[in-house]
């Protein structure tokens, strides 16, 4: 088995110096045409490709960007990855993905790994556990060491870096406003616990929509779910006997579960109760009735994040001004709301 060939081996084989080979392959004018051709032919024959690691070390840049996300089996995150990947590749960057599995410790490890030379910068959405602990020293640390970081979706205010978020609050507002415009008066909210930043924001949007329309915020109509795995039962229990005409859920799963629970309780969606979810995933389209949702445009988000990061990587100046890009959501109305 032939091992990957190096410049040194080519040089030895052709009895020239390493520098000559390097230059010849870069088509340098310093090398005679004859020699260049000879070297190129030989290199091609042995399928020479420069070693990335060596290049990275030499150039002190890896042309690689890291992604740290809490979970990969998750439609939204994969769309973001796709967006990142797309623009990264376009700009000649590769992508390395690390999963925190929503664990703080793993996030710290990932960060350390990515920051120790493996990448030029990274894009991350913080783990749930991290948001709960409110411990962001690891992120601040790498930033202070000069590693550019872009946060998306679950961002942290106290960490100073570029950020890309959607207008969670406004997206929720619009959804609830839509329900109100349909004459819904008793709108339930199914949200996550407050330390998840996006859950909190969406809850705020819900409340604002109500108060703006002079509707009372009734805490009895608000459910905050901690444990996603048992959401179905929680939601059933919550909806039982509630007199409502609409449900706004902060994610797709909760919305689907709500519809199932409602159906079980003998209520028809959308005739008796309208339902709007958040995040447009695969289920939303397929579900019957198809789900109305607030679309987060994950791919755009990833693309924007990648642009921000690469721009920072390639700008000469050490710009200390950071920006937070807020992307609009859009409301996709399907069959789960009455017309």
Contact footprint for DNA (CB under 7 A): 6-8, 15-20, 22-23, 25-26, 30-32, 34-35, 48-51, 53-55, 57-58, 60
Report the chain's C-alpha Rg in angstroms: 26
Residue 336 touches a copy of itself, criterion: CB under 8 A: no
Query: What one-character DSSP code corresponds to residue 183?
Result: T
Write the CB contacts of 181 (distance below 8 Å, at least 6 apart in sequence): none
Query: What one-character DSSP code corresponds to residue 257?
Result: H
Q: How far is the CB of 130 from DNA (least distance, A)?
A: 26
State the Cα–Cα distance between residues 168 and 192, nearest whole angstrom: 13
Q: How far is the CB of 51 from a copy of itself (least distance, A)?
A: 4
Q: How far is the CB of 300 from a copy of itself (least distance, A)?
A: 14
With CB under 5 to 8 Å by kind, the binding choice for 256 among a copy of itself, DNA, none is a copy of itself
Q: Which phi and psi angles does 51 have, rounded to 5°?
A: -80, 120
Write the CB contacts of 152 (distance below 8 Å, at least 6 apart in sequence): 80, 123, 124, 125, 163, 164, 165, 301, 302, 305
For DNA, the closer of residues 59 and 271 by Cβ is 59
Q: How far is the CB of 58 from a copy of itself (least distance, A)?
A: 10
Residue 321 touches a copy of itself, criterion: CB under 8 A: no
State the Cα–Cα distance between residues 124 and 111, nearest whole angstrom: 10
Residue 118 touches a copy of itself, criterion: CB under 8 A: yes
- Of residues 36-55, which lie at the interface with a copy of itself (CB under 8 A)? 47, 49-54
Q: Name the nearest CA neighbour of 166 among 282, 66, 295, 74.
A: 295
Does residue 162 contact residue 315 with C-beta atoms inside 8 Å?
A: no
Q: How far is the CB of 47 from DNA (least distance, A)?
A: 11
Residue 113 touches a copy of itself, criterion: CB under 8 A: yes
Residue 260 touches a copy of itself, criterion: CB under 8 A: yes
For DNA, the closer of residues 59 and 144 by Cβ is 59
Strands 246-249 and 187-192: parallel
With CB under 5 to 8 Å by kind, the binding choice for 98 among a copy of itself, DNA, none is a copy of itself
For a copy of itself, the closer of residues 30 and 50 by Cβ is 50
Structure tokens at 128: 């749930």
Does residue 155 contact residue 301 with C-beta atoms inside 8 Å?
A: no
State the Cα–Cα distance between residues 113 and 332, nearest whole angstrom: 40
With CB under 5 to 8 Å by kind, the binding choice for 281 among DNA, a copy of itself, none is a copy of itself
Residue 146 touches a copy of itself, criterion: CB under 8 A: yes
For a copy of itself, the closer of residues 209 and 301 by Cβ is 301
Count of C-beta atoms within a 10 Å radius of residue 164? 27
For DNA, the closer of residues 36 and 200 by Cβ is 36
- Dihedral-angle region of residue 101 (phi above 0 means left; psi in -120 to 50 means alpha; beta otherwise): left
State the Cα–Cα distance between residues 217 and 100, nearest whole angstrom: 36
What mask of x and - would describe binding to a copy of itself in positions 63 to 102, judged by CB under 8 A?
-x-------xxxx--xx-xx--x---x----xxxxxx---
Figure out which of the listed residues 15, 243, 286, 339 binds a copy of itself, where binding follows CB under 8 A.
Answer: 286
State the Cα–Cα distance between residues 244 and 275, nearest whole angstrom: 11
Residues near a copy of itself (CB under 8 A): 1-4, 47, 49-54, 56-57, 62, 64, 72-75, 78-79, 81-82, 85, 89, 94-99, 106, 112-113, 115-118, 141, 144-146, 256, 260, 263, 281-283, 286-288, 318
């Amino acid at each position: 088995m032939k091992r990957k060939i190096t410049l040194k081996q080519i040089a030895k084989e052709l009895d020239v110096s390493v520098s000559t080979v390097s230059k010849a392959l870069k088509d340098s004018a310093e090398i005679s045409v004859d020699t260049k051709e000879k070297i190129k032919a030989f290199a091609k024959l042995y399928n020479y490709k420069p070693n990335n690691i060596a290049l990275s070390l030499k150039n002190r840049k890896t042309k690689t960007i890291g992604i740290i996300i809490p979970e990969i089996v998750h439609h939204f995150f994969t769309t973001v990855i796709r967006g990142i990947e797309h623009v990264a590749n376009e700009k000649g960057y590769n992508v390395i993905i690390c999963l925190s599995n929503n664990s703080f410790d793993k996030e710290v490890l990932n960060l350390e790994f990515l920051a120790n030379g493996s990448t030029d910068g990274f894009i991350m959405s913080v783990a749930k556990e991290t948001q709960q602990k409110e411990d962001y020293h690891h992120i601040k640390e790498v930033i202070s060491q000069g590693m550019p970081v872009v946060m998306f979706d679950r961002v942290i205010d106290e960490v100073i870096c570029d950020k890309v978020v959607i207008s969670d609050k406004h997206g929720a507002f619009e959804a609830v406003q839509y329900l109100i415009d349909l004459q819904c008066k008793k709108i339930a909210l199914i949200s996550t616990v407050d330390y998840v930043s996006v859950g909190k924001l969406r809850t705020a949007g819900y409340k604002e929509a109500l108060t703006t329309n002079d509707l009372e915020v009734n805490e009895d109509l608000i459910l905050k779910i901690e444990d996603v795995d048992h959401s179905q039962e929680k939601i059933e229990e919550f909806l039982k006997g509630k007199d409502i005409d609409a449900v706004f859920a902060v994610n797709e799963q909760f919305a689907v579960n709500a519809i199932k629970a409602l159906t079980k309780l003998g209520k028809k969606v959308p005739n008796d109760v309208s339902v709007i979810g958040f995040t447009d995933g695969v289920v939303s389209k397929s579900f019957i009735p198809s789900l109305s949702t607030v679309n987060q445009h994950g791919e755009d988000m990833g693309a924007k994040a990648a642009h921000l990061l690469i721009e920072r990587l390639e700008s000469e100046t050490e710009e200390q001004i950071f920006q937070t890009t807020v992307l609009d959501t859009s409301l996709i109305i399907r069959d789960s709301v009455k017309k």
